[in-house]
Structure 1
Amino acid sequence: MTKFLAVGGGMRSESLSSAILRHAAELAHHCRARAQVLTVRELALPMFDPDVVTRDDPAVRRLLEAVEVAETLLIATPIYGGTPSGAVKNLLDTLHLGKRDLVGPLHGKRVTVAAVGGGALASSYSFQRGATGTLEIAAKNLGAWVDPHHVEFSELQFDPDGSLGDVLARNDLLTRIHALLGASRRMAV
């Protein structure tokens, strides 16, 4: 059974990027993967400072252990100023503590990146490419194989209860999860 980790999300209690993580985990579970969700809000990672933060910090250890056992990941972020949130960037910076023998903690893992934009940028996908592009670069630098098809959402695609109501958006997410899990299963053979 493929191990899938949905990680990132937002700091708000009703974060739509965190909702994407939950939707993705649910879809992965239906695809017979063992799914786990870790949001930046629940992790409450310390601000990354390589002189201070260590692998011994409980939040850091939890993150690194989850990443280590995962075979596939979805990394999702809210969009602020056309880029990932500071909390998600901090999570990615913290992953550098998982390097061993110059090998990144995402080495050999399959990753899909996603972003949720809102407000004045809700219908402008050109701004979302900056966020998902940054996630892709960071994941590749940590050793991942990143799906070239990013998943980008507008807050307008969500229902008031936070569910992904837009059928096309939900199908896009399902397609990416299928591709991610399929690639991981093929690589394991």
Structure 2
Amino acid sequence: MHDTPHVIGISGSLRDDSGTRIAVQCALNAATGADATTEHIDLREWDLPLFDPDAGAAESGDGPELAACVREADAIVLGTPVYHGTIASPLKTALDYCSIDDVEGTTIGILAVAGGGFPTPTLQHLRAAVLELKGWPLPQGVAIPDSWAAFEDGSIADGDIAERVEELGSNVVAYAGVADRREETEQSELATGD
């Protein structure tokens, strides 16, 4: 882990006027306020062809660079819009470029933005993907339903939702490196016989 936690946010929306991107940036602003360095990965700016495990580096676009950014992060905020009840394909493709070695032990905050009702299934799908990569998802994700009413003029209009997103950003900093601390505690207990 870095001396100052480094948090990246990945927005899984390609829309120009994306509520997901606004929410991820809000979480990153809170992480900066909690003394972390941050980087917002806007997938519109990355060349990420559909993942093909047989493709060579020349055919993988920016996939290896994205995986390196993920590997260097102490914590991550993943945000996805809800498409057909699940994770948006840009975020899924980005995650497909990451291996367990890139994600294992990393603290991850998740959020989902839905045009309609509460996006619980999407949060569960995103949490399952994080767990498969052996990441450490925070217990509480953030669900943002009715996105048409949740955002206004480039910010989160609902104060309660904004507070939950900010808390997510602060929590990824507070729990950054939690897997390393757990491992250190277990090793210490083994050494002392506790």
- The residue number in structure 2 matching 1:100 is none
1:172 to 155, 160, 164: 164
| TM-score, structure 1 normalization | 0.85
Where do residues 71-110 of structure 1 align in structure 2 (5 Å cutoff)?
Answer: 71-96=74-99, 103-110=100-107
Identity of aligned residues (%): 23
CA RMSD of aligned residues (A): 1.9
Cα distance between partner residues in 1 of 2:151 and 2:68: 31
Distance 1:137 1:57 in 2: 25
Contact 1:46 1:53 in 2 (8 A): no
Are residues 1:50 and 2:53 paired? yes
Q: Are the counterparts in 1 of residues 31 and 172 from structure 2 also a CA contact under 8 Å?
A: no
Q: Distance in 1 between matches of 2:113 and 2:98?
A: 22
Once the two structures are superposed, residues 30-80 of structure 1 have per-residue CA deviations (whole angstroms, 9 ceiling, x without a partner) of 111000010221113111011115388451122112111100001110001
| Greater gyration radius | 2
TM-aligned CA distance change 1:5 to 1:134, over 3 Å: same
Is the Cα contact below 8 Å between 1:108 and 1:143 reproduced in 2? yes
Q: Secondary structure at the match of 1:51?
A: coil
Amino acid at match of 1:107: E
Show structure 1 runs of 5+ residues with no match.
97-102
2:176 is paired with a residue of what secondary structure? helix
- Once the two structures are superposed, the pairs formed by residues 5-154 of structure 1 within 5 Å of their partners are 5-52=8-55, 54=57, 57-96=60-99, 103-118=100-115, 121=116, 124-125=117-118, 128-154=119-145
What is the TM-score with the length of structure 2 in the denominator?
A: 0.83
Q: Which stretch shows the higher mean deviation, 70-79 or 178-187?
A: 178-187
Pair 1:157 & 2:154 matched: no
Counterparts in 2 of 1:55 and 1:109: CA distance versus 1, 3 Å: farther
What is the CA–CA distance in structure 2 between the aligned matches of 1:76 and 1:66, rounded to whole Å? 16
Runs of 4 or more, structure 1, over 2 Å off, are: 53-58, 185-189
| 1:162 CA displacement | 2.3
Equivalent position SS for 1:75: strand
Tell me: CA distance 1:79–1:53, structure 2 relative to 1, closer, same or farther (3 Å).
farther
Gaps of 5+ in 2: 182-194
The CA distance in 1 between the partners of 2:58 and 2:78, in whole Å, is 21
Shift of 1:85: 0.8
Change (3 A) 1:130 1:55: farther
